[in-house]
Amino acid sequence: MNPTQLIILDYGSQYTQLLSRRIRELGVYSEVVSFKITAKAIKETFSNLKGIILSGGPASVYEHDAYTVDPEIFDLNIPVLGVCYGLQLLCELFGGKVEQATNKEFGKAVLHLDDANSQLFADIKDQSLVWMSHADHITKLPPNFQQIAHSQASIAAIKHQEKPFYGIQFHAEVTHSEQGGTMLKNFLFLVCQAQPDWNMQDFIVKKVAEIKKVVGADQVILGLSGGVDSSVAAALIAKAIGKQLTCIFVDTGLLRKNEANQVMTKYQELFTMNIKLVDAKEKFFKALSGVAEPEAKRKIIGKNFVDIFNDEAKKMQKAKFLAQGTIYPDVIESSAHGHSSKTIKSHHNVGGLPKELKFELLEPLRNLFKDEVREVGRQLGLDNTIVDRHPFPGPGLGVRVIGEVTAEKVKILQEVDDIFISKLYEANLYQTVSQAFATILPVKTVGVMGDNRTYDYVVALRSVNTIDFMTATATHLPWDFLEAVVNEIINKVDGVNRVVYDITSKPPGTIEWE
């Protein structure tokens, strides 16, 4: 299998991952690479490359240390599309001029076509809405380039008169650009002459053969969380090597209700593999005692998980490989090259294992996005309750118990969460929302049950809809459904007398509370 390839040179745009996903959704394999890649490295690495995209980014091309590109890339005879910063970089490199704009454009703008016959604009109607995000604009076109579209405030699209080089000032990859998907399709299939030959069936066949070849007769261990990524990684590796795989499942005490038993039962039924359960509940609750700060909790949970996994791994002297459910967004985020960003919250994974363990990493999903991982899981026969499971934080309920974590609060939250999720399934709503969960607050309020006064905890329900998890809006769940959920929680869960529903969007909030 050698599918059509397209690469995206990353200049730091918040939409780079989304752009790569959009390309793959159209059936073309895309990969995000550093803008520092050379033309020589491109030729050596990509054997069936059909197109190159220069991504957006937060910098200005006229700054003295602006990110640039190997000019020899333009001699590869491969079509190029510059997006936002990428458009401005094309302009600057080919002799045009970019300056700070008096009228900056952020948000929706109307796209006026100047050359409707351009391949990029095939089947695109005039005056459609696009999503702009720029403070600079082109003030002088480079020689041999022509303007093919404009907005009220800027040159919105350009093309080379002889070579297949295009630039757009807007972000075609976001849903706010009404016909952005068609423009990307035009670039792929009309300009680049790519083939829609990227699919998960071929991926599985190739990856299974690759795992067999790499592992040989050796043993593999994997830290199983019960989430989508580690489950699909386990299924794929098990398909290749069966009992040579041992999964270690750590019960932190911070899992959902009955999750440890469900995982052990389900995975032993579904797969030919070894699976070991480590009961570490007491250790985690002891380590978290008195700790309320979210980042501190995440680090404690992460460290204890790694320590326990290390201890178990050391017992497996014949294991040569450590398998992880790393997926492509993890790879992109961890390979950032100098773009400044602020930590919103740290992420918890099996990563960070000490070097003395001397395992070779096996990451069969590292080139897949989450939707592709789910599709691989389906084709491997995984249960929908695994494949379509909503995102669940690495630290588990440790960051859904707001403030200090105690066994009492976790038990209450497990019951509340179980009712909410079960009700979503019963009402056929689970698949229609992107992520739903409950939190327990460090607050007690007065209530009345029968003739008795109560003073119990407040819990919050949250459900959001999102395409890429970068932004999200609260789900408008039916009011009668919410009333039924609240009624069951109050009647069945001791320790709760008030339920609230979180309608905050992201931004300004995050999806999780901690």
196 φ, ψ (degrees, to nearest 5): -80, 75
Residue 505 labeled ligand binder: no
What's the rounded Cα separation, in Å, for the pair 191 and 54?
15
What pLDDT does 105 receive?
81
Residue 334 labeled ligand binder: no
Residue 225 labeled ligand binder: yes
Q: Over the stretch 391-412, which tens digit does the pLDDT of each residue have?
A: 888 899 999 999 999 999 999 9
Mean pLDDT over 438-454 rounds to 91
Split at pLDDT 50, 70, 90, the class of 357 is low
Q: Rounded to the nearest 5 degrees, what angle is found at the Cα of 22, between the Cα atoms of 129 and 512? A: 90
Q: Over the stretch 2-61, which tens digit does the pLDDT of each residue have?
A: 889 999 999 988 888 889 989 999 999 999 999 999 999 999 999 999 999 999 988 899
Q: Over the stretch 141-183, which tens digit does the pLDDT of each residue have?
A: 999 999 999 998 899 999 999 999 999 999 999 888 989 999 9
The CATH number for 406-502, chosen from 3.40.50.970, 3.30.413.10, 3.30.300.10, 3.40.50.720, is: 3.30.300.10
pLDDT higher for 453 or 458? 458
Split at pLDDT 50, 70, 90, the class of 104 is confident
What pLDDT does 332 receive?
75
How far, in Å, are 85, 120, 145, 176 from residue 138 at the CA level? 11, 19, 12, 23
Residues with a catalytic annotation lie at 84, 171, 173
The ranges assigned to domains in the chain are: 5-191, 200-387, 406-502
Q: Over the stretch 413-423, which tens digit does the pLDDT of each residue have?
A: 999 999 999 99
pLDDT of 464 over the 90 cut: yes
206 φ, ψ (degrees, to nearest 5): -65, -45
DSSP per-residue letters across 15-47:
THHHHHHHHHHTT-EEEEEETT--HHHHHHH-S
Rounded (10°) angle between helices 228-241 and 370-379? 40
What pLDDT does 341 receive?
35
DSSP per-residue letters across 90-120:
HHHHTT-EEEEEEEEEEEEEEEEES-TTSGG
| 200-387 belongs to CATH 3.40.50.2000 | no
Most confident of 60-64, 79-83, 307-311, 447-451: 79-83
Split at pLDDT 50, 70, 90, the class of 111 is very high
Q: Over the stretch 53-91, which tens digit does the pLDDT of each residue have?
A: 999 988 899 988 899 999 999 999 999 999 999 999 999
pLDDT of 353 over the 90 cut: no
Residue 230 labeled ligand binder: yes
pLDDT of 185 over the 70 cut: yes
How far, in Å, are 55, 385, 389, 430, 442 from residue 382 at the CA level? 36, 8, 11, 18, 38
Average pLDDT, the chain: 90
Split at pLDDT 50, 70, 90, the class of 323 is very high
- Nearest Cα to Cα of residue 339 among 54, 41, 89, 65: 65
CATH number, span 5-191: 3.40.50.880
Residue 289 labeled ligand binder: no
pLDDT of 276 over the 60 cut: yes
Residue 128 labeled ligand binder: no
Are 123 and 182 in contact, with CB atoms under 8 Å apart?
A: yes
Are 234 and 267 in contact, with CB atoms under 8 Å apart?
A: yes
Split at pLDDT 50, 70, 90, the class of 262 is confident
Split at pLDDT 50, 70, 90, the class of 345 is very low
Do the domains 406-502 and 200-387 match in fold? no
Q: Over the stretch 210-260, which tens digit does the pLDDT of each residue have?
A: 999 999 999 999 988 888 999 999 999 999 999 999 999 999 999 999 999
Q: What percent of the chain has pLDDT over 90?
A: 69
Mean pLDDT over 267-289 rounds to 90
